[in-house]
Amino acid sequence: MVFRIDSELDIDAPAPVVWQVITDFSRYSEWNRFCLEAKSTLEVGSPIDMNVRLAGTVRRQREWVLSHSPGREFSYRMKPVPFGALRSLRSHTVTPLGPDRTRYVSRFEIRGWLQPVVTAVLGRTLRTGFAAMTAGIETESERVAKLPE
C-alpha cells in the first residue's frame, strides 16, 4: 500500500531562483506554513532536521538525504521502521522551461503496513501542508524573481 501526494506547478521565475527558495532553509519560516524550519547540508547520507506543523502542533522530524543534484533535485527519507512497518520518500525537482519559467515537482509517499493508520490520522493534514508549501514556493519564488538585482 502506498499513500502518495504529488504536485506539479509552473512558476514564473528562473530555475536558479526557485532552487534558492527551496534550499534556503533559514528563510522557511518567512513563507512556509508547513515546514517552518529545516537544516541540512544536503550531502547524501546526512540528516535533514525539520520542524513541521502537523494537526495543529509543531513536530520535530529527522530524515536522511537520499539524493542531491545541485540546482536540479534533492530527496530524503525517514529512517525505515523495522519489519517494513513504515518508510517514506520526499523529493523536490526543478526543471527550467525557459529563462523566466520553471516547473517544480513535489513528490511524497509513505509505504508499509502502518501506512493506512498514518493516512487515517494525518492524511488530510499532510495534503493540506504539502499544498501550502507548494503554493508558498510559487509565491516566494515569483516575489524574489521581481526583486531588483
Q: Is 141 in contact with 11 (CB distance < 8 Å)?
A: yes
Q: What is the pLDDT of residue 134?
A: 97
* Distant-in-sequence, close-in-space partners of 142: CB < 8 Å, separation ≥ 6: 11, 12, 13
Q: Is 82 in contact with 90 (CB distance < 8 Å)?
A: no
Domain residue extents for the chain: 2-145
Q: What is the pLDDT of residue 148?
A: 86
What's the pTM value of the predicted model, to 2 decimals? 0.94
Query: How remote is the C-alpha of 99 from its chain's centroid?
Result: 24
* Distant-in-sequence, close-in-space partners of 15: CB < 8 Å, separation ≥ 6: 71, 94, 95, 96, 102
Q: Is 59 in contact with 50 (CB distance < 8 Å)?
A: no
Query: C-alpha grid cell for residue 76?
Result: 530524503
The answer as to CATH 3.40.50.2300 being correct for domain 2-145 is no
Phi (first) and psi of residue 79, to 5 degrees: -65, 125
Report the distance separating Cα 102 and Cα 117, nearest Å. Answer: 36
pLDDT one digit per residue (tens) for the chain, 149 residues = 899 999 999 999 999 999 999 999 999 999 999 999 999 999 999 999 999 998 889 999 999 999 999 999 999 999 988 999 999 999 999 999 999 999 999 999 999 999 999 999 999 999 999 999 999 999 999 999 999 87
Q: What is the pLDDT of residue 108?
A: 98
Q: What is the pLDDT of residue 80?
A: 84
Q: Is 60 in contact with 50 (CB distance < 8 Å)?
A: yes
